[in-house]
Chains A and B, each alone.
Chain A
Amino acid sequence: DAGVTQSPTHLIKTRGQQVTLRCSPKSGHDTVSWYQQALGQGPQFIFQYYEEEERQRGNFPDRFSGHQFPNYSSELNVNALLLGDSALYLCASIDSGTSGGPGYEQYFGPGTRLTVT
């Protein structure tokens, strides 16, 4: 059973460019959350997708957008890249059926390291 996978592993972009990061959730999971982890910091919530719609959003500008596909995989898009967007981007998947119960857990992928020069 594959866990959460993310691609690519590393990415280098130039200021002003656009980037797309991809995430495949753990088998059986239908909800995907994205987090940004700056160097030396804890992850910060960007947004969450469920049933192909953005359900919650953290304090991130509209340059950050996403998408969820019918197979529950997800993409994170960042437009007009800034130097400050350099970070590790983590994807986490959830089985919505466990929400609110003791079985709830967010399973994280290994992340995509984005460097903006």
Chain B
Amino acid sequence: AQTVTQSQPEMSVQEAETVTLSCTYDTSESDYYLFWYKQPPSRQMILVIRQEAYKQQNATENRFSVNFQKAAKSFSLKISDSQLGDAAMYFCAYRILYGGSQGNLIFGKGTKLSVKP
């Protein structure tokens, strides 16, 4: 069974600094997607960044980037120039691919990120 592990329940970063959130996963599949979602106190899950497993190049979205190590099954999120609005729960997620089906998301337990002014 596929699993996603986030080993850091809480992290803290100073405003304008850089922070890295860790995620490891377990799967026997070769093709899949990995995601980082942000969940602020408003509760709405917001997609931060997406990585296709068949792509070796790490995904980047503005201040957010990932370090995808397929062999190690590691998928960390780096947030540069942290802002107060980055404070939230961050979830790493893996998407199963079943032929023509949509596939559901498997989430880790999350990392609570605090940003200090």
Contact = CB atoms under 8 A, between A and B. Distances in A.
Contacts of B44: 108-111
Contacts of A74: none
Given A108-B44, A109-B44, A43 B100 contact: no
Contacts, number: 66
A57 to B, nearest CB: 9
B45 A90 contact: yes
B33 interface: yes
Contacts of B100: 99
A84 interface: no
A70 interface: no
A45 B95 CA distance: 11
B17 to A, nearest CB: 26
Chain A, interface residues (CB within 8 Å), range: 20 to 34
A109 B106 CA distance: 17
Contacts of A102: 50, 52
Interface centre among B97, B103, B104 (most CB of A within 10 A): B104
* Interchain residue pairs A-B with the least CB separation, the first 7: A42-B107, A108-B45, A45-B104, A110-B44, A111-B43, A42-B109, A43-B107
Given A99-B100, A110-B42, 10 more contacts: A33-B102, A35-B105, A40-B110, A45-B105, A56-B101, A58-B104, A99-B102, A102-B50, A104-B95, A106-B47
